[in-house]
Structure 1
Amino acid sequence: MAEPRPSSREVERARQTVRERSKELGRTNAALATAQARLDELAAEAGRLVEAYNGERVRLRQAEEARAQAQARLVAADAEVERVRQDVALLATDDHGGLGLMKPLVGMILDQGGTDGFLHRAGMLGHLRSERSALLRNMRDAQEVAAILRAQAANAHAAQRAAAERARLAKAAAGEAVARQLRETRALRVRKDRLQRKVDAARTRAELLARKRAAAARGLITGGSAMGDVAANWALTQLGKPYVWAADGPGSYDCSGLTMRAWERAGVRLDHWTGTQWTSGPRVPLDQLRRGDLLFFGHTADPSAIHHVGIYVGRGQMVHAPQTGDVVRVASIWRGDLVGATRPR
Structure 2
Amino acid sequence: MPLHRSMLIAMIGVLIVAVGGSPVAADRDKAARDKATRDKSTHDKDDKSEMAEARDQVEQRSRDLGRTQLKLATAESRLQDLAATAERLVEAYNGELVRLRDATARHESLTADLQGAEAQVEVARRQVAAIAADTYGTLDVNRPFVAVVGEGADFLRRASLLSQIGDEQSATMKKLHDSQQVHAILQAQAASALRERQSAANEAERLKEAAAKAVEEQLKETKAIKKEQATLEERLDAARSKVERIQREREAKRLAASALRVGSAPKWARAAVAPGAAAPGAVSASAMGGVAARWALDQLGKPYVWAADGPAGFDCSGLSMRAWQQAGVNLDHWTGTQWTSGPHVPLGELRPGDLLFFGRVSDDPGTIHHVGIFIGRGQMVHAPQTGDVVRIASMWRRDLVGATRPA
TM-score by length of 2: 0.56
Alignment of 1:109-188 (within 5 A): 110-113=158-161, 132=187, 135-182=190-237, 184-186=239-241, 188=243
* Aligned CA distance change for structure 1 residues 33 and 111 (closer, same or farther; 3 Å): same
Q: Which has the larger share of helix?
A: 2
Mapped partners of 2:388, 2:296: distance in 1: 13
The answer to whether structure 1 residue 200 and structure 2 residue 255 are counterparts is yes
Q: Specify the SS of the correspondent of 1:200.
A: helix
Report the CA distance between 1:196 and its aligned residue.
0.6
Offset of residue 68 of structure 1: 1.9
Q: Distance in 2 between matches of 1:55 and 1:290?
A: 79
Name the counterpart of 2:366: 304
Q: Which residue of 1 aligns with 2:383?
A: 320
**Cα offset for 1:159?**
1.5
Counterpart in the other structure of 1:276: 337
Distance 1:55 1:331 in 2: 66
* Paired residue type of 1:276: T
Question: Deviation of residue 72 (structure 1)?
Answer: 1.6
Alignment-derived partner of residue 56 in structure 2: 34
Alignment of 1:249-260 (within 5 A): 249-260=310-321
2: distance between equivalents of 1:225 and 1:139? 119
Pair 290,316 (structure 1): closer, same or farther in 2 beyond 3 Å? same
2:83 counterpart residue number: 60
> Per-residue CA shift, 1:162-213, capped at 9, x if unaligned?
323432442344245324533552464255235313312322322555xx5x
Residue 198 of structure 1 aligns to which amino acid in structure 2?
Answer: K
Code of the residue aligned with 2:200 in structure 1: it is V
Q: What is the count of residue pairs matched by the alignment?
A: 325
Which residue of 2 is the match for residue 4 of structure 1?
Answer: none
Distance 1:62 1:149, change over 3 A: closer
Task: Give unmatched runs, 5+ long, in structure 2.
Answer: 1-28, 123-142, 165-169, 279-285
CA RMSD after TM alignment: 5.3
**TM-fit CA distance, 1:144:** 1.6
Identical amino acids, percent of aligned pairs: 24
> Counterparts of 1:297 and 1:338 in 2: how far apart (Å)?
5
* In 2: Cα distance, 1:34 partner to 1:174 partner: 19
For structure 1, which runs of at least 5 residues remain unmatched after alignment?
1-7
1:50 deviates by 5.0
Structure 2 counterpart SS, 1:44: helix
Distance 1:337 1:315, change over 3 A: closer
Larger relative contact order (Cα-Cα within 8 Å, sequence gap ≥ 6): 1
Question: Distance between the aligned counterparts of 2:390 and 2:156, measured in 1?
Answer: 125
Match of 2:100 among 59, 77, 87: 77
TM-score (norm 1): 0.64
- Structure number with bigger Rg: 2
Q: Contact conserved, 2:297 with 2:381, CA < 8 A, in 1?
A: no
3-state SS of the aligned residue for 2:344? coil
